[in-house]
């Protein structure tokens, strides 16, 4: 089980780097092409596709052997993602708590909540 946890953590780190690069791409390219609202949605869909592709490709290497272990890995990725979003988003990237919470408000067209759901 230790190797499964370590491998799941390594894949999550790859996904975290992909998420940061996706955010850079959104800010540098997508916003100027589509505007804020559409860029946000396109970026979310793009990252969701990356997460699903990487998770599907890595499941054998991670060593997921049952539905239970898949749920555990998914739960770990969810908790790691939320911790990163809130803690790194605030303390590392300097976003206000309000700005972070706004990203999860689907009623205002923010679809970022789909990313933790993908986990």
The residue among 119 and 28 whose pLDDT is bigger is 28
Task: Output the furthest CA–CA distance in the chain (Å, rounded).
Answer: 45
For 21-41, the pLDDT digits (tens) are 999 999 999 999 999 889 988
Average pLDDT over residues 51-72: 93
The residue among 103 and 82 whose pLDDT is bigger is 82
Quote the pLDDT of residue 117: 64
Average pLDDT over residues 7-15: 97
Does residue 63 register a pLDDT over 90? yes
What are the DSSP calls for the chain, one per residue? -HHHHHHHHHHHHHHHHHHHHHHHHIIIIIHHHH-HHHHHHHHHHHHHHHHHHHHHHHHHHHT--SHHHHHHHHHHHHHHHHHIIIIIIIIIT---HHHHHHTT-GGGT--TTHHHHH-
Does residue 75 register a pLDDT over 90? yes
Quote the pLDDT of residue 102: 79
């Amino acid at each position: 089980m230790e190797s499964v946890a370590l491998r799941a953590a390594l894949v999550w780190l790859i996904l975290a780097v992909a998420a940061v690069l996706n955010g850079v791409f959104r800010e540098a390219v997508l916003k100027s092409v589509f505007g804020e609202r559409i860029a946000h949605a396109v970026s979310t869909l793009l990252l969701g596709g990356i997460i699903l592709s990487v998770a599907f490709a890595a499941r054998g290497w991670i060593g997921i052997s049952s539905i239970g272990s898949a749920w555990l890995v998914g739960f770990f990725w969810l908790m790691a993602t939320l911790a990163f979003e809130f803690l790194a988003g605030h303390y590392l990237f300097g976003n206000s708590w309000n700005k972070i919470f706004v990203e999860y408000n689907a009623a205002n067209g923010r679809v970022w909540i789909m990313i933790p759901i993908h986990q």
